[in-house]
Structure 1
Amino acid sequence: MALLHRLMTTEPLLALFLTIAIGYFVGKLKIGSFTLGGIAGTLLVGVIIGQFGVNIDAGIKGIFFALFIYAVGFQGGPQFFHALNRRSINQLVSAFVMCFTGLLCVLGAAWLFGLDRGMAAGLAAGGLTQSAIIGTAGDAIGKLGLSPELMKTMQTNVAVGYAVCYIFGSLGPIIMVSWFLPLIMKWNIRAEAVKLAAQLSGGRGELDPGQFNAASPIATRIYQVTGDSKAAGLATLAIDRQLSDASVEAIYREGKTLDLTDATTVAVGDRVAITGKIAELATASSLFGKEITPPNGLLLVQENREIILTSRALDGRTIGDIHDHANVETRHGVFLTAVKRMGLDLPVLDKLALKRGDELHFTGSPADLNRVQSKIGYKITAAAVTDFVFFGIGMLIGLLLGMIQFRIWGIPISIGSGGGCLLSGLLFGWLRSVHPNFAALPQGASNFLRDFGLAVFVGIVGISAGPQALVAIKQHGLTLFFLGVGVTLIPQIVGFFFSYYVLRIQNPIEALACVAGGRSANPAFAALLEKAGNATPVVSFTVTYAVANVFLTLWGPLIVGIITTNATP
């Protein structure tokens, strides 16, 4: 033990990485279906390791929190700004009402029970499960001009409040969306999800849990053209029009592969490769006749390509509408296989409305994909390298915004570097979605900045709070826990019934997804997805989650500014 103490005090970074490693291991342990999560696990382990009296430069904490919060803003920017329109106004209002109710609950609890600024912010961070509040509130406390001892005490209280309230803050939304609200509304989540999927798909069947479609949705078949084939003498474009969702990909004639154009004519003796949706290949069979094995030497190159949607003309239009209005010359040979929004898979159904910033996955030949790419957006692999010019500018703007101080009803407010970098990240994420030549920050890079930045930040918070945290937990633990229960449950109940009866969000899946998203509750969303058995909750969740992430993060400095009670050092 003495050796461990000496190592950690001599090289504090050993303590930091040990905290992260053990914290994430603890966070993966399951109790039933509940896991604590890596961030909460890191904070708790950090408090324990902090008992060794490890000191880590606070500047490291600030840098990594700024990186984390910028990445959060960058990833949520496209969806956040696209949510600010009339089509999504109800979901936007639903998220804001839930976030604002959470703020009122925290302020009410602080007033009734005499909580200091730090403890109130920790109550918000844990009860509303928004880890970013730890940083934005701690940042705001650091700018109050308090004595170093008092400032450290209140920043410790932020971590204590989070640690005490987080477990039920994470568990409460799971209970609400997967059991309590469906119970009182008499909803069968799986049945409602199947019904919604059928509506979105125009009646297409939905699979039960554990089932999967064994047939690939896209396939290639080779046909021999004979004298009896209806396709003999037809141009490839004419054949594509008849096939609709399948197309001629290659013609093999006299030992050679022809260079295809729309006017290339199919002749008797040709071997023709048709690529398309399985359902359309039956039509191809009736046109061509006998299916054969691929001839030696036939090379048919296909590509899976991810394209970010930036086209204003396609923004807000449904998949079915786009398909029906695009002529065959434009869409032949290109097949949409997946849609992602904010990293989440959406159901690829006819009535799914696409948004700018969506990640569309296509299959087709490189030539066909090149033809449609310019009409849709830009290829993701074109952004494989981080644009450090715009990344540096974005961080600079965020830090400058954090230095601005203003007053609301006479209350001094500063959003701090965390809030500033969040707003800057939102702006640059949106800029990237509409102007793909600027501000590249690949998904893998932004994920790393987000996850590692938060892990380092929370680990340092826990280690720094260690010596004082146990005393604060003993003093406020039980009271804080029950206050956290109230802060967790009340906003969900108020937000749900307001959304259902006032905003008329009455589809069960959409209503429950708005609860999970408005609480920025990833575990609850995972539980809802499991109950639904399909991806129908994703669309509503992404809108409300993006909005809630912004407002909940900004509550940190607002709470510190409104509450005037300081802790006793």
Structure 2
Amino acid sequence: MSYFVTTVQKYPEIALFLTIGIGFVFGNLRFGKFSLGVVTSTLLAGLVVGQVGITLPTVLQSTFFAMFLFAVGYAVGPQFIRAMKSDGLPQVIFAVILCIVGTVTAIVLGKLLGYNSALTAGLLSGGYTNSTVLGVAADLMNQSGVSEADLRVSLALLPVAYAVTYPFGTVGSAVLLANIAPRLLGFDLAKVSAEYERANGGAKIGTTAYREYSARALRLTNPAIIGKTVEQVEKMFKNEIFVRRLRASEDAPIVECKRDTVLTDGAIIAVSGGLAALLAYRDDFGPELKDVPLLDFSTEQLDLVVTNKVYAGKTIGEILHTLFGEPGRGVFLLKLTRSDTEMPMREETEVHRGDVLTILGAKADVAKIAKEMGYADRPVEKSDMAFMAFGIVVGSLIGAITIHIGGIPLSLGTAVGAIVAGIICGYLRSTMRTFGYIPGPAIWVFNNVGLNGFIACIGLNAALGFVGGLQQYGLTLFLAGTMVTLMPLIVGLILGHYVFKFHPAIMLGACAGARSTTAALGALQQEAKSNVPVIGYATGYAVSRLVMALLTIVVMNVM
């Protein structure tokens, strides 16, 4: 044990990774429906490991937190901007109201109980289950210019308040939204969610067996087709069916068809097209066969960003007639997306530079069209790290700007700058797809390692002052946390049901999102047996991440 203590004191990075590892192990354990969560487990692990006396530099803490905030902003950016511009505005207003209610509740309780800014921010962070508050408050404290001794005392109180209030914040919100609220408001959550899915074509969990476009192997027996060229046959079927490959018999070599290829009697042909066309015209060729080698050609579904100015202003019909002819025979246009919005698939719809065409076809043919029209936005494993790094730099520089109003210095802070940068960068990526790609797994790493690395630093640095703070503030702090948890939810249920008149399942999801509590969303999905609550959660979560970061500045100044 003495060797362990001496070593981690000498090499604090060991304590950091030990804390993160313990946090992930215990945070993923479930006890019935309850789980501490990785963030809380990491914080508690840091408070325990840190009892040996660990000091980590604040710059490491800030680095982890900037990584986390950018990743969060990048992930929710498209949803956030879309909601601000569209009919999601009521959900945005709803989320802002709940954030303000939770913040005002924490400030009022903090004033009544004589808490300082650190305790009040920790109370808000844990009771409102929003770890962003914890990080922004710590970041502002580190930049406040107070003495080192006062700073250490304040930073020790933050995790005390968070650790005491977070468990009820998680469990209480999940139980209230998923189990109590539907009974109080008189609706069956599973029933109303199913009705919404039937009315709006809600997506099901998992993948579907349905394929809109496919290929079939057919033996040619129809005399009306025998002896004709591929071009003639495809025109007979209105270019809804494409003859891709053929062979004269089962043992004959496979031939890649061109427009002038002649179809012979008894040949086995591979035809592709939409499912409706394949079913409608199948009997016009001959019996279907199982010919795996004939159908074994590579296909690809590709997002193609239009950058070639030649095609800017052309209609979908013109592009289909010219480009999807010989260069792309058998390539299908699945959808057209502009600025993260799906456009109507009509022949007269104009295509603009920057639009994204989702196409499907043989890999070689898809590549020809991509080369001609623009940029092939294929999923890759690498991240555009320059985009991320410069985004954080610009956002943090803007956030660090301080203005003085009435002698009071006001600044967004580098933390808010980082999350705003993430939102803008995420939205830019969704609208201009030629740069800024960060894969989903990488976002998960930046998000989780960033947040829990930051939380581990908080816990390790605050460990020695934690026990005394807990003894001094424990029960009163816990009760105050229940008020911060419940007050926004009660207000949200009343407003959502009677004022905004949201659909019940979407309303509950919006409450969970505005409270940024994933545990409540999981409970709602389980009770609803549906993903409908996610519709409300997405906007509320995106809004609350930014708004709570801004409101933390208010808390720190008021308290």
Q: What is the TM-score with the length of structure 1 in the denominator?
A: 0.81
- Which piece of structure 1 moves more, 130-139 or 187-196? 187-196
| 1:473 and 2:470 aligned | yes
The match for 1:162 is 162
Q: Is the 8 A contact 1:411 1:562 kept in 2?
A: no
Of the three residues 219, 224, 228, the one matched with 1:224 is 219
RMSD, aligned CA: 3.8
Q: Is the 8 A contact 2:227 2:265 kept in 1?
A: yes
Q: Is the 8 A contact 2:377 2:433 kept in 1?
A: no
The match for 1:438 is 435
SS of alignment partner, residue 547 of structure 2: helix
* TM superposition shift of 1:231: 10
* TM superposition shift of 1:281: 4.6
Q: Is the 8 A contact 1:47 1:463 kept in 2?
A: yes
The match for 2:391 is 394
State how far apart, in whole Å, the 1-side matches of 2:281 and 2:475 are: 70
The match for 1:550 is 546
Could you tell me which runs of 5 or more consecutive residues in structure 1 were left unpaired when the two chains were aligned: 311-321, 343-349, 351-356, 564-569
The match for 1:538 is 534
SS of alignment partner, residue 303 of structure 1: strand
State how far apart, in whole Å, the 2-side matches of 1:286 and 1:303 are: 28
Report the residue type matching 1:200 in the other structure. Answer: N
Report the residue type matching 1:222 in the other structure. Answer: A
Kindly provide the CA deviation profile for residues 21-73 of structure 1, in whole angstroms up to 9, marking residues without a partner as x.
11111111111022111111000010011111112222211111112112222
Q: Is the 8 A contact 1:257 1:298 kept in 2?
A: no
Q: 1:362 to 1:460 in 2, by over 3 A?
A: farther
- Which piece of structure 1 moves more, 23-32 or 291-300? 291-300
The match for 2:145 is 145
Query: Percent of pairs identical after alignment?
Result: 28
Q: Is the 8 A contact 1:46 1:459 kept in 2?
A: yes
| 1:115 and 2:109 aligned | no
State how far apart, in whole Å, the 2-side matches of 1:445 and 1:169 are: 29
Query: What number of residue pairs does the alignment pair up?
Result: 527
Q: Is the 8 A contact 1:69 1:450 kept in 2?
A: yes
Q: Is the 8 A contact 1:394 1:428 kept in 2?
A: yes
SS of alignment partner, residue 32 of structure 1: coil
Q: What is the TM-score with the length of structure 2 in the denominator?
A: 0.82
Report the residue type matching 1:499 in the other structure. Answer: G
Q: Is the 8 A contact 2:65 2:135 kept in 1?
A: yes
Q: 1:29 to 1:435 in 2, by over 3 A?
A: same
State how far apart, in whole Å, the 2-side matches of 1:192 and 1:181 are: 14
* TM superposition shift of 1:80: 1.6
* TM superposition shift of 1:264: 7.7
Of the three residues 254, 257, 274, the one matched with 1:259 is 257
The match for 1:319 is none
Q: Is the 8 A contact 2:50 2:463 kept in 1?
A: yes
* TM superposition shift of 1:184: 1.8
Of the three residues 400, 405, 414, the one matched with 2:402 is 405
* TM superposition shift of 1:502: 2.3
Q: 1:125 to 1:242 in 2, by over 3 A?
A: same
| 1:283 and 2:277 aligned | no
The match for 2:349 is none
The match for 1:456 is 453
State how far apart, in whole Å, the 1-side matches of 2:477 and 2:363 are: 59
SS of alignment partner, residue 537 of structure 1: helix
The match for 1:417 is 414
Could you tell me which runs of 5 or more consecutive residues in structure 2 were left unpaired when the two chains were aligned: 308-314, 346-353
Q: 1:288 to 1:181 in 2, by over 3 A?
A: farther
SS of alignment partner, residue 88 of structure 2: helix
State how far apart, in whole Å, the 2-side matches of 1:257 and 1:165 are: 70
Q: Is the 8 A contact 2:514 2:540 kept in 1?
A: yes
Q: 1:266 to 1:276 in 2, by over 3 A?
A: same
SS of alignment partner, residue 270 of structure 2: strand
State how far apart, in whole Å, the 1-side matches of 2:227 and 2:488 are: 67
Q: Is the 8 A contact 1:231 1:287 kept in 2?
A: no
Within 5 Å, which residues of 2 pair with 1:28-177?
28-177=28-177
Q: 1:295 to 1:226 in 2, by over 3 A?
A: farther
